[in-house]
Amino acid sequence: DDKIWSNARFHLCLRVQDKQDSMDMLHKPDAAYLTSPGQCYLQIGNDELYQLFQTGYCGGRYQPEEQKEETVALLSETGRR
């Protein structure tokens, strides 16, 4: 939808099924030609930035070995507590 596209400054697009899907997202066919899983285009504004990048994947289950208590300390500008 053009209203959504014009009001969204940041566009992320992973590989899509066809050129029209890419055109809807980026106004360019490029995302239809991505070949590697996780490749993505970031578009900011009207091509102020248009960048291809590789996303990360973390598919493992999170199983903490032990519960750790986190402590947060307020430091001064010199780094002292």
- Give the strand order in the sheet containing 39-44: 10-14, 39-44, 49-54
Q: Where are the alpha helices (DSSP H) in 17-58?
A: 19-26
Give the structural domain span for 22. Answer: 2-54
The residue that leads in pLDDT, 79 or 28, is 28
Which pLDDT score, from 0 to 100, does residue 80 have?
78
Is 81's pLDDT higher than 90?
no
> Phi/psi at 41 (nearest 5 deg)?
-105, 135
In a domain, 7, yes or no: yes
Number of domains in the chain: 1
| Mean pLDDT of the region 2-21 | 90
Q: What is the mean pLDDT of the chain?
A: 88
In a domain, 75, yes or no: no
In a domain, 74, yes or no: no
| Mean pLDDT of the region 15-39 | 94
Q: What is the DSSP letter of 5?
A: H
Is 76's pLDDT higher than 90?
no
Residue 13's pLDDT band (cuts 50, 70, 90)? very high
